[in-house]
Amino acid sequence: MTVEYHVKDISIHRIVEQELGTRDAFQFLKDLTPELLEENRSWLEPLALLKNTNNFSFCFQSYVIKTPHHNILVDSCIGNDKPRPNRGSWHLKNDNYFMSALAKANLKVTDIDYVMCTHLHTDHVGWNTKLENGQWVPTFPNARYLMSSTELNYWIDLHRKTPIDAINDSVLPILESKQAELIKSDHVLSEYIRLMPTPGHTIDHFSVLLGKNEDLAYFTGDLIHTPLQAKYPNLCATVDFDYEQATQTRFSFLERVCEQKALCCTAHFPGTSVGKFTKWKDTYRFNAE
Ligand SMILES: [Zn+2]
């Protein structure tokens, strides 16, 4: 498994926490029909679709970008010790995968300067915090955590009505420690790094864009979950917040990165999650690198 990529003087490191998560394809994609899945089975198997099953395979990971000035963590994946009763393989888990991947990238938790929260779903904020003496404390003591203020307000409102574990244990402690930086989803961090609004999966989801005066690599967050959605960008995840907007975001993103031939670092594509999208007749295809 390739875990390190280089774009000019910047390196990108995959921090893989779980490699083989599975979800029922029909539960996962809203308008997927058995006919459409069969039609595509031959190229989806065995990586994106487990052989002879209807189960998509997903990778769960973060990325670290090392620029000449900063170490930036894009999303913080699942986390340890988190109560996630609806997800067996995440619930109160305690393993070393995330931390050893960070160590393999030659990084300590104190080396992370920024944590980018593309959105505030459970599997993207987990390592924001760790359990220490019964308290949730920031995992990265020197980091600023960037979150969209619109996204944050939406989740805080929801959390007040019905408590959400991930907001409670992985987001609120960051606000309390005053390490959160509330930004707009088109924020410019530095000459190398900026954000691009990619709403639809959540209310103010953003992607992270890397490149000095050019668009060289994208960190997609959850604007796309499986290679099947490149061929059919109108297929939405059932959990998408706004189906129409999510579809529009996927179409315009795919068109843009095809034209730019930009490297795309996806959050959940199985196997090699990093690659480039190219045109495929009148739609798109993912080519792993
Ligand atoms: Zn996700």
Q: Tell me: the pLDDT tens digits for 196-225?
A: 999 999 999 999 999 988 999 999 999 999
- Token pair, residue 92, equals 């109160």
* Residue 120 · residue 167 · CB < 8 Å: yes
* DSSP state for residue 121 in the 8-state scheme: -
Domain count, the chain: 1
What's the gap in Å between 70 CA and the centre of ligand 1?
Answer: 24
What's the gap in Å between 267 CA and the centre of ligand 1?
Answer: 7
Residue 259 domain-assigned?
no
- Token pair, residue 74, equals 């894009």
What would the mean pLDDT of 119-140 be, rounded to a whole number? 98
Residue 244 domain-assigned?
no
- CATH number of the structural domain spanning residue 204: 3.60.15.10
Q: With cut-offs at 50, 70 and 90, classify the pLDDT of residue 105.
A: very high
What's the gap in Å between 208 CA and the centre of ligand 1?
Answer: 15
What's the gap in Å between 84 CA and the centre of ligand 1?
Answer: 14
What would the mean pLDDT of 242-263 be, rounded to a whole number? 97
Residue 208 domain-assigned?
yes
Residue 246 domain-assigned?
no
What's the gap in Å between 188 CA and the centre of ligand 1?
Answer: 23
Mean pLDDT score across all residues of the chain:
97
What's the gap in Å between 12 CA and the centre of ligand 1?
Answer: 19
Residue 241 domain-assigned?
no
- Residue 130 pLDDT more than 90? yes
Domain boundaries, position 50: 4-221
Residue 185 domain-assigned?
yes
Partner residues linked to 277 by β-bridges: 286
What's the gap in Å between 120 CA and the centre of ligand 1?
Answer: 9
Q: Distance of CA 15 to CAs 101, 168, 219, Å?
A: 5, 24, 13
Partner residues linked to 197 by β-bridges: 206
What's the gap in Å between 135 CA and the centre of ligand 1?
Answer: 25
CA distance 247 to 269: 18
What's the gap in Å between 75 CA and the centre of ligand 1?
Answer: 9
- Residue 133 pLDDT more than 90? yes
CA distance 194 to 210: 7
Q: What is the pLDDT of residue 212?
A: 86
The owner of tokens 């990108």 is 12
What's the gap in Å between 268 CA and the centre of ligand 1?
Answer: 7
Percent of the chain with pLDDT over 70: 100
CA distance 200 to 222: 9
Q: What is the pLDDT of residue 20?
A: 83
Residue 267 domain-assigned?
no
- Token pair, residue 225, equals 């979950």
Per the document, the length of the chain is 289
Residue 289 domain-assigned?
no
Q: How far apart are the first and last CA of the chain?
A: 11
